[in-house]
Structure 1
Amino acid sequence: MTMNEQSLDRLDARTKNREARRVILSSYLGSTIEYYDFLLYASASALVFPKVFFAQLDPLAGTIAAYGTFAAGYIARPLGGAIFGHFGDRLGRKRMLILSMLIMGVASTLIGLIPPKEVIGSAGAIVLVLLRVMQGIAVGGEWGGAALMALEHSTHGKRGFAASFTNAGAPTGAALGTFILGMFAALPEAQFLAWGWRIPFLLSVLLLVIGLVIRSKVSESPIFAAAVAKDEAEGTTKKKVPIVEVLRRPRALIYTMLSGGAGFALQVFLATFAVGYAVEHGAPRQSVLYVFALASLLQVAFVVAMGRVSDHFGRRPVMLVGLVAFIALIYPMFGWLASRNILLIFLALTIGLLCHALIYGPLAAFVSERFGTTARYTGASLGYQFATLLGAGFTPGILASIYAASQRDTAPVVLYLAAMSVVSAIFILLTKESKDHDLHTYEH
């Protein structure tokens, strides 16, 4: 090899690394914006919607009803994963990311514009559910594309680290949404419920513009582009249907769904039930929102760190440690949440989110590495989104219901969350380690 060829190789490597960093940043920022919208709804469903759209119900019944609308988004996520996954595997990752962000931004902005119950009556709740479904479809398509763009641009041995930035966008978005909602929660309750809660949703239109600019500047996945070029070179004219490829061998889909379920149950437990439980026991609403936002910011570093750790030790061991730690700590966490001591509440939320980071950091790579390139967007999206439906979609409503049925006893809540963690741990143990898979040749 001549000196000029060596220089070109080094230049090409630098170019690839620079583009990889740009894509990872884009995935992180785009995911932050998407999850700002999606998880802002989680906090609002605990603190706002029961009083705004379900005020005619008993307070606990109103909360359960609001959590029902929250679940609608999770029910729609697998549909979004299937739709966007199909076209992402056919047309490319980048186009689907831009479209998913557009849908999410529009839906979230419209939530902030829903007229109050006094103006349109029960129709407000119906519109809320429809817009929540739009959010679910959008985030169902967003995650797979963002995770794959980061994963497929990265080098071998750094995939867990790269893909973890997509998942790090979730706590960042949660922190941003919770912090902004907390600012307006300082208003007198009548003003907060009349208009204050709407402002964080209306700000989505500004985030949408930023996100679309960022997404438009990244390049297509090189692994996907190579697969397309290979098909063209071989004269392959008949393309496989991605969802048929995934469903023909459903084991990977089922195992990823059950392996990831408990991680999402923990995530949504902290964002909804734990926040509401602390407020119910006398902690100031705004203070609880602020400490949750701060704990979520700390979790960003935890998620990325655990993604990197999984590159060394494997996805499975790191995730299992998180599940075991959560089972061990869930019961004492309730005591801290009920203490009315903001420092203890902060400690409970931080420890809970650290346990979640152990699961969530490696999860993007854990799921995505189980599918071949021509069906990876579809398979990863469906596996991940079915896990969110199983673990998060119904969890707030279930927890609120069993908590009410047991006369506000936390023991059934603890048992439910621990049982979900055991199920996920079993299916993680049943999977093969994936950190050394060759993504160019791997077919699940």
Structure 2
Amino acid sequence: MKAALASLLGSTLEYYDFFIYGAAAALVFNHLFFTDVDPAVGLIASFATFGVGYIARPLGGLVIGHFGDRLGRKRALLTCLLLMGASSFLIGCLPTYEAVGIWAPIMLTVLRLAQGFSAGAESAGASTLTVEHSPTNRRGFFSSFLSVGIASGSVLATVVFIPVAALPDEALYSWGWRVPFWISVVVVAVAYFVRTRLEETPVFQEIAEEDEVRNLPIKDVVRYQFPSVIRVMGATTMGVMQSLVTVFVLAYATQNVGVDRPAMLTIIAVATGLMTIVVPLAGRLSDRVGRRPVTFIAVVGCGLGIFPYLWIVSTGNAIAIAVATVVFLSLFYSCREGVWPAFYAEQFAAPVRYSGMALGNQLGNLIAGFAPLIAASLVVIGGWVPVAVFGAGVAVIAGTAVYFMRETSSLTPQRLDEPYETARANHTGRAATNSLTK
């Protein structure tokens, strides 16, 4: 349970910082860092900097994941915390375009890349750490607290931004937008304190004692478990749904449809807050009936539900939007959030788990990062319908990937490693045969 708490607090910090950027990108960054262009173009440019963070995530996953598999899960996760906290605080200190010109968006982009580098390793590391600390029959439940942390971070980011968004424009654009980024210092201190008191996972300790630590884990991932990387990458594209709701819909509803900013932020905060209840229930259900069936509830529900959801948002009816957001995000999407931390980590063997999950997960997240940018561009072309088609297409990709993933809910740690060990043994056997024939 201590590992689950550490994952919850750590991911709360990481994703508070990550999502506070999303709220700022949707509401204020186009006024602060892209003031010399048309407002619609400025919003698209603001969303582009949001997406840039996702470009850095695969690299961060590979680099920090390498050290997580080499030196331990705990050290890698502490590094993630410090990097994310520092980057977010510095964003709150940035001068605007009016003060320094083009250097303002450049510095913003650099710090967003640092945020992405950190986030790219956080989810894989926290999932790996929790899975390896949990009993076989409760891995889904305990690992789901990572997603509870992600939801909590999103709620915290949104709640903090509600009074900020209600400020008069002069106060909002001068100092108000900075406050949420400065608050991250407090959150990082609490999360760091908890994680420093967590022991390394027994699985990693056993690998280290048996001298099974791989010199270059990512090489083994590509050689022995690359199909798992592809499947996890495809399944991860479902993250598009959350990006559409928390970033694109926030901007679309407030700037295109005319919904009040604090009202829309409140709707998203309530729906995301309800996820913290449904997510662990979905994780526990996956321990009993399997990871794939629970994930398919999310895939089908979101894939079909994206059409009525965006139509309701386009009406501007705040009550209807609130109900639809709760159903779409809190009910259907939560089923995916409750399962993926365990499901994706379980696809990889212990010696390469951190690196393998980070690679597949963050490559799949690339499209989630650019989903608000894609959606904003599609709205200009044809309104909300092309955005819904885009979301449904992503659901088809994710559902296909999940269908071909190995069901892992009842497998022991030793059986989770079997595909990797078999592939290594076959490779070693072929290499020995080739050596003899020469």
Range of TM-score over shorter length? over 0.9
Determine if contact 2:347/2:406 at 8 Å carries over to the other structure.
no
**SS of the counterpart of 1:338?**
helix
Determine if contact 1:114/1:128 at 8 Å carries over to the other structure.
yes
- Cα distance per residue 1:117-154 (max 9 Å; x no partner): 12111110000000000000111111111111111111
Q: Distance in 1 between matches of 2:181 and 2:122?
A: 19
Within a 5 Å distance, the mapping from 1:237-386 to structure 2 comes to: 239-249=214-224, 250-261=226-237, 263-279=238-254, 280-353=256-329, 354-386=331-363
Shift of residue 328, structure 1, vs aligned partner: 2.1
- Equivalent in 337, 348, 364 of residue 387 of structure 1: 364
Determine if contact 1:75/1:389 at 8 Å carries over to the other structure.
yes
Within a 5 Å distance, the mapping from 1:178-189 to structure 2 comes to: 178-189=158-169
Shift of residue 339, structure 1, vs aligned partner: 3.3
- Cα distance per residue 1:304-355 (max 9 Å; x no partner): 1111111111111111111111122211112322333322121122122122
**SS of the counterpart of 1:432?**
coil
Shift of residue 169, structure 1, vs aligned partner: 1.1
AA paired with 2:16? Y
- Equivalent in 190, 193, 208 of residue 173 of structure 2: 193
1:41 is the counterpart of 2:21: yes
Q: Distance in 1 between matches of 2:215 and 2:344?
A: 21
Q: Distance in 2 between matches of 1:291 and 1:323?
A: 22
**SS of the counterpart of 1:370?**
coil
Q: Distance in 1 between matches of 2:233 and 2:125?
A: 18
Shift of residue 301, structure 1, vs aligned partner: 1.2
1:402 is the counterpart of 2:402: no
User: Which residue of the partner structure matches residue 18 of structure 1?
Assistant: none
- Cα distance per residue 1:235-278 (max 9 Å; x no partner): x6x844100010113100011000121x2100100011111222
AA paired with 1:405? I
Q: Distance in 2 between matches of 1:22 and 1:379?
A: 24
User: Which residue of the partner structure matches residue 388 of structure 2?
Assistant: 414
Within a 5 Å distance, the mapping from 1:75-224 to structure 2 comes to: 75-224=55-204
Q: 5+ unaligned residues in a row in structure 2: which ranges? A: 421-438
Pair 1:301–1:266, CA change in 2 (3 A): same
Determine if contact 1:278/1:345 at 8 Å carries over to the other structure.
no
Matched pairs, number: 415
User: Which residue of the partner structure matches residue 430 of structure 2?
Assistant: none
Determine if contact 2:311/2:384 at 8 Å carries over to the other structure.
no
Q: Distance in 1 between matches of 2:285 and 2:62?
A: 31
AA paired with 2:142? A
**SS of the counterpart of 2:413?**
coil
AA paired with 2:352? A
AA paired with 1:383? G
1:53 is the counterpart of 2:33: yes
Structure-2-length-normalised TM-score? 0.92
Structure-1-length-normalised TM-score? 0.91
**SS of the counterpart of 1:54?**
coil
Q: Distance in 2 between matches of 1:224 and 1:37?
A: 29
The alignment yields a C-alpha RMSD, in angstroms, of: 1.3
Q: Distance in 2 between matches of 1:399 and 1:320?
A: 24
Q: 5+ unaligned residues in a row in structure 1: which ranges? A: 1-20
User: Which residue of the partner structure matches residue 423 of structure 1?
Assistant: 397
Shift of residue 441, structure 1, vs aligned partner: 5.0
User: Which residue of the partner structure matches residue 408 of structure 2?
Assistant: 434
